[in-house]
A and B are shown apart, each in its own frame.
Chain A
Amino acid sequence: MTLLSGEMLRPRRNWQAIVTIAVVLIVSFLVLLPLVFLVEESLNIGDPLAFPPAQYGFANYLAIFEEDINVLWNTVIIAVMATVMAILIGFTLAWILTRTNVPGRETLERLMELPYYMTPLVGALAWSVIAGPKSGFINQVWKAWGGPGDLVDIYGHFGIAWVMALFEGTVAFVMISASMKSMDPALEESARVIGASKLRTTLTVTLPLVMPGVLGATLFVFAEMLGSFAAALVIGIPARIYVITTAIWDSTLSFPPDYGRASAMGLALFVVMFGMLTFYRWMIGRGNYATITGKAFRPRPMDMGRLAWVLFGVCALYVFLAVVLPIAALVFTSLQRFATVILSQAEFTLANYRTALSLGPVRTAMGNSLLLGFGVASVGVLIMAVLVWIIYRSQLVGRGAIEYLVMFPQAVPRLVFGLALLWAWLNIPVPIYGTLWLLALAYFTVMLPLGVRTLAGVVLQIDKSLEECARVCGAGWVYQMRSVTLPLLKPGIIAAWLLIFMACVRELGVSVFLMGPSAKVIAPSIVAAFASSGTELTAAMALIQTFTVIVALLILFRLTRGVTKEMT
């Protein structure tokens, strides 16, 4: 057995080198090439449909400031309002759920994730049903009580910001509560022991310590809000309030489509967001978090006495506004022939669901979305698992570059990436534009960061010697991956599969650009239905989509709980 033939003495890692080079090429083709097309198109000042451009110049960029200055203004105002609301909500909830003895803490913490999974699209639809002028539920009730005019109108700057904050601001809660959880409770306790009151401790110790975390979250959320699309699309366009994302979308709809203008706006948005996220990383990485270590502490919650129930009410109110009320409004609407809250006038029917499930386009759209979800998740996680292994486990020279490439789509606003892919594949001589194949490719590309991050979390927990042992036992790389690495990754692979599946079923930003007449998917179809047919049918469609996502989510919760139980 120790006899070695001469050819065994070749340099090692042939397999790995081949795989790595292939991976770098394919991933940069998917991730970077569309952006190259986008940059070129943004400099096109001749015929916007010509490729390659006949004339180059900066006119498209200058036009943003000359003609679309009010779009920029709207974007900033709405993003600021949404960020302020999201941070206020996030900070309050994070403080209540990590630092106080609020009743039902664990359940509430789980519920906080729900608005994110409901998606801003469904949230925006629901709130336009709740707070739309005249026919909105709140205004209907107000009128029934004899109130003059409309009490509320969601179709305004504040309305858009409100929906964004409720459904996209969840990340603020996650980030701030993480920084509160990582604070050593002894820091607060020593203040209390020395004689400071609860309030004084909170103001002089807790707040200054979590402030960097809050600032980081603010920056991050603001960047996200700048690139937010769904709420601005559903609420902003009827209200004729355009933000940069809807303006990009709108310029591709004009005739002829002004791709040059759209590309310039998209790139400008990308550069601003990228700059802010880089600044955010730099701030986090600068390391003035000496007291806030990576270690998770179990903070001793403060005893709030009877006030705890008030705090519980605050959390419950959030869940009511962001989950219960929207879902109830959509369910209520979807079950009626004409949506009304005046029960005496209500005509209940299942016709909308029958239509949604039998109407050709809707059915194919739903079917396509599920098909894409299954396909992309199944093929995607396997490729991502190999990627993760290469990035975090191999000793290959190019692994840092691969990590950067794979995470890159995260820094590009979804909508801008969709636009880039649209323009790239209109001009790449492979006829997959307008087919599910392109959507699958696009979904895979934009899901790379999500899948890789989820899997990396599991890979990093796996002791390296488990793999090394397989090698020493005589297994080659392929056999080691098959017999040890992949089976150990299984819980992570299932979680990543479900997350990618959910993300595919609800995908909007890339889909709006890449959907073809014979390749429709559900989220853009919901938007189209909202614009053309009644809210009742739209509500039914949105609920079918939400239901699919929630089923996947429940499976995920069940599984992850099982996994954590097994580990402890």
Chain B
Amino acid sequence: MSATRIEVKDLVVRYGDAVAVNGVSFTVGRGEHLTLLGPSGCGKTTTLRAIAGLEQPSSGSITIDGQAMFDAAARRNVPAEQRGVSMVFQSYAVWPHMSVYNNVAYGLRVRKQGAADIKANVERALDLVQMRHLADRAASKLSGGQQQRVALARAVAFSPTVVLFDEPLSNLDAKLRAEMRVELRELQRRLDITSVYVTHDQEEALAISDRVIVMNVGVIEQIGTPEEIYNRPKSRFVADFVGSANLIKGKATAPGLFEAEGGTILKTAGGTSGNEVAVRTAYIDLVAKPGDNQLPGTVRQRMFHGDFVQYIVECACGRLIVRRPPTNLLDEGAPVTLSFSPEHTVLLQG
């Protein structure tokens, strides 16, 4: 039993002349929850659909449980229905001409399970999403959130080992989305499944994943745990796309040292080359702490957001954005000292 459930190697997907996915490689471990994150058109959905067998790649290979599902070199392409994976679609794809029960039972019937097994499995799946009381309802008479639950129940009813999620929450309103996020995480834990999840919502990606892959224009920018992605962005794109960060231009002068434009010397987490550092807006304190990079500045603008307060502070490195808890409000024009640890001053590559 290998620890790798899915292996994607040098995957390329072309649409005519356009290249949607350009040489993507990664692995997903057993029971791991991996998220592909990126802006629209970055190739994340295409990658997912290639794993499902709904998109034919031009080159590379896809292996699930050691079995080649797609292999351009060996001219092998297993049809979607024989890959044994399951998928939740962005549009839910709940069949409007069937009842909730029949929707969920579909995958079980395809697998020719006995009537009693089907009933037991459908009820188990509907219980998971708290939809058992609506089993006989026509699928066309469900609300968006209910359809979402049915799609989820249908995807897990036949006990697949791999479930693919294609932006499953993007059609829900913000509050429901937050609720479903919690439930989804819970469901992933309870069922022994491996999941690949696609989203453009960085908050969602960080919240529900074991590992995140940030993609841009068909290639992988960074792979890492949510904390790594957030704390150690490798590139300007990742720093900018995930969370909010201040980008300071300058030049790395020595290991752990960075000279910002204007001459200020900042201590960084390490690295010897690069001409930009990222500092997360949430990691800047307005009270000086020993050992930190410290910069005197003036509050230029204050915006009250409720959960946090955003200050724009003018300092030697230009205007930096600082987000603080909404306690101890500072006035515009107040002198402050910006303080952030070298560990959170991340040198970006390229």
Contacts and interface: CB of A to CB of B under 8 A. Distances in A.
Interface in B319-341: none
Interface stretch (B20-28, B76-84, B208-216): B76-84
B78 A484 contact: no
A106 interface: no
A472, A476, A487, most chain B CB atoms within 10 A: A472
B111 interface: yes
Given A463-B93, A476-B81, A471 B53 contact: yes
B339 to A, nearest CB: 50
Contacts of A566: 140
B57 to A, nearest CB: 13
A465 B95 contact: no
Interface stretch (B61-69, B122-130, B196-204, B255-263): B61-69
Contacts, number: 92
A360 interface: no
A558 interface: no
A566 B96 CA distance: 11
A472 B85 contact: yes
Nearest to A12: B79
A471 B81 contact: yes
B111 A474 contact: yes
A473 B106 contact: yes
A1, A2, A13, A566, most chain B CB atoms within 10 A: A2
Given A4-B78, A11-B77, A472-B52, A487 B67 contact: no
A466, A468, A474, most chain B CB atoms within 10 A: A474
Nearest to B87: A472
A244 to B, nearest CB: 44
Contacts of A13: 79
A466 B86 CA distance: 14
A473 B86 contact: yes
Contacts of A268: none
Contacts of A193: none
A465 B90 contact: yes
B154 A473 contact: yes
Contacts of A466: 93, 95
Contact of A1 (B56, B76, B77, B111): B111
Contacts of A484: 95
Given A474-B107, A475-B106, A490-B97, A8 B80 contact: no
A162 to B, nearest CB: 48
A73 interface: no
A86 B77 CA distance: 56
Contacts of A470: 106
A471 B80 contact: yes
Contacts of A1: 84, 111, 159-161
B53, B64, B93, B140, most chain A CB atoms within 10 A: B93
Given A2-B161, A474-B81, A487-B97, A468 B65 contact: no
Contacts of A488: 95-97
A182 to B, nearest CB: 26
Chain B contact patch, size range:
35 or more
A465 B89 contact: yes
A480 B81 CA distance: 10
Contact of A468 (B84, B89, B107): B89
B110 A475 contact: yes
Interface in A1-23: 1-4, 8-9, 11-13
A400 to B, nearest CB: 14
Chain A contact patch, size range:
20 to 34
A103 to B, nearest CB: 36
Nearest to B56: A395
A293 interface: no
Contact of B67 (A2, A476, A480): A2
A470 B52 CA distance: 12
B158 interface: yes
Contacts of A12: 77-79
A469 B154 CA distance: 10
B75 interface: yes
A4 B91 contact: no
B303 interface: no
A470 B68 CA distance: 22
B54 interface: yes
A476 B154 CA distance: 17
B158 A473 contact: yes
Interface in A456-491: 463, 465-466, 468-476, 479-480, 483-484, 487-488, 490
B4 to A, nearest CB: 13
A9 B68 contact: yes
Contacts of A468: 52, 54, 80, 87, 89, 93
Contacts of B78: 4, 8-9, 12
Nearest to A480: B81
Contacts of B79: 12-13, 471, 476
Interface string A477-516: 0011001100110100000000000000000000000000
Interface string B90-111: 1101011100000000110011
B157 to A, nearest CB: 9
A491 to B, nearest CB: 10
Nearest to A566: B140
Contacts of A476: 79, 81
A260 to B, nearest CB: 47
A477 B113 CA distance: 19
Contacts of A395: 56
Nearest to A467: B93
A494 to B, nearest CB: 14
Nearest to A490: B97
Contacts of A3: 67
A166 B76 CA distance: 61
Given A466-B95, A479-B110, 6 more contacts: A2-B64, A395-B56, A468-B80, A473-B86, A473-B107, A474-B158
Interface of B: 52-54, 56, 64-65, 67-68, 75-87, 89-91, 93, 95-97, 106-107, 110-111, 140, 154, 158-161, 164
27 contacts: A1-B84, A1-B159, A1-B161, A2-B64, A8-B78, A9-B68, A9-B76, A11-B75, A12-B78, A463-B91, A465-B93, A466-B95, A468-B87, A468-B89, A468-B93, A469-B95, A472-B52, A472-B85, A473-B81, A473-B86, A473-B107, A474-B82, A474-B110, A474-B111, A475-B106, A475-B110, A484-B95
Q: Pick the 7 closest A-B CB pairs, nearest first.
A: A473-B107, A465-B93, A469-B93, A471-B80, A465-B89, A12-B79, A474-B110
Interface of A: 1-4, 8-9, 11-13, 395, 463, 465-466, 468-476, 479-480, 483-484, 487-488, 490, 566
